[in-house]
Chain A
Amino acid sequence: MIVLENLHKSFGPLEVLKGINLTVDKGEVVSLIGASGSGKSTLLYCINALETIDGGKVTVDGVDVHAKGTDINKLRQKLGTVFQQWNSFPHLTALENVALAPRVVSKFSRKDAQEIAAKQLTHVGLGDKLNHYPSQLSGGQQQRLAIARALAMEPTYMLFDEATSALDPELVGEVLDIMRMLASEGMTMIVVTHEMSFARDVSDRVAFFKKGVLAEIGAPEDVMNNPQDPDLQRFLSTIG
């Protein structure tokens, strides 16, 4: 369970998160939607401690993420993160990309790590690209590689930050399919997305962000078909 309590975050004078309360249960898929700059990415980075926080509390399975003694590196193994930019390691093959963290973080032998990697790559449909370098893969394939890389750490949660926004339109589908597959397998996911159909079809709840505030949250059919907040109405009509 991921729990955010009265979360505050500022960059200098700019208050980006103004007291967020949100609980994500095991097995749940929560989509975050909202205009660019509303603080969605920052929220994810406060969960995996890429950012520090200025007030409130974030706990993951009861562990206070921002407490002094917390082992961040151990915690992050539970939280798979996929960014807008796929960030494949350019010097490693697909197989080595995925096997690296199991080997150096989880201390698997090279052979075991590669077995794990091959399994995860096959899972995301890249079983035939094990020995390709990232430069030989399309954006969609690299993003699937990034997902496999996160899955190889056997995370309890997956955080997606606009995983399809940097892709050419024809490549978006293959990545969304993998995300749908993960959701159907019961993975707990927090998904920042501009893909409204994905939010509507896959999520258990949709949360609308407005200038650092969680303006509206609920089941997709309520939030998306019957929005209360006037800004949300406008947002949905522009993004179509």
Chain B
Amino acid sequence: MTDVFTTLQWSDLIFLLEGAWKTIQISVVSILLGTLLGMVFGWLMSLNNKLITFAVMAVLDVFRSVPLLIQLILFDSFVAIAGFPLPAFWSGTIVLIIYTASLVAVVVHSGIDAVPPGLRAAARCLGMSYWQEMRHVTTPVGLRTAFPSWLGVALATIKDSALVSAIGYVELLRASQILNTRTQESVKIMLLVGLIYFIISYPLSRLGARYEQRQKS
């Protein structure tokens, strides 16, 4: 009788790297679209309209107050019962996009808030329109305070993409679990997977730390 468990092979490494590639795909799409959507929400909150600010805040707060895992399962089951089931990649990524957007909105809102009102008034006094001022003053000035926090959100999205495995999508973490059960070489696999996540995340977190240090000096 042959052993059902096999040892790690080169093909397993390829399998893991494929998973890593999918993790990167989910992350990039979620960060890009989530940032765009979050910018719209953050901008809406920064308008001088208390009702809009409150409404947007309250809705986005729900996404930040319910576990992402629950949101993934809920959305996945919802599209199924609503009769338009999506591939796991998309039902997972859509949830991640909205979740990321709810975090980016806060970052964008506080970034805009951090721009001194006098600066914006001065720009308008030179004859700039609302959008010219937004584009040439508020965006570049707000970006300097918002950028490190945005990096933090992007980092969180990369790590949270691991949860998409819970609805059956084989990204990096899920790939490692599949190998785990087959080969029983969990330590090697876990080390490898941890290393891959680390390699993806660490440059971003260093960048954030460096940037904050530079801001201070």
Contacts and interface: CB of A to CB of B under 8 A. Distances in A.
Touching in the complex, A and B, CB below 8 A?
yes
Contacts of A77: 126-127
Interface string B14-57: 00000000000000000000000000000000000000000000
B121 A83 contact: yes
A105 B118 contact: no
B140 interface: yes
Contacts of A104: 128, 132, 135-136
B124 interface: yes
Given A76-B124, A150-B126, A105 B132 contact: yes
Interface string A64-90: 000000000110110111010101011
Which 7 pairs of residues, A with B, have the shortest CB-CB distance? A101-B126, A87-B122, A77-B127, A81-B125, A105-B127, A76-B127, A91-B140
B168 interface: no
* Majority SS at the chain B contact face: helix
Residue from B123, B127, B128, B136 whose CB has the most chain A CB atoms within 10 Å: B127
A87 B116 contact: yes
Interface residues of A, number: 24
Contacts of B124: 50, 73, 76
Given A100-B136, A104-B136, A89 B128 contact: no
Nearest to A77: B127
Contacts of B121: 50, 83, 87
B118 A149 contact: no
Contact of A87 (B118, B129, B136, B144): B118
A104 B137 CA distance: 12
12 contacts: A48-B125, A73-B128, A74-B127, A79-B125, A81-B122, A83-B118, A85-B116, A100-B136, A101-B123, A101-B126, A104-B136, A150-B126
A79 B125 CA distance: 8
Contacts of A85: 116, 118
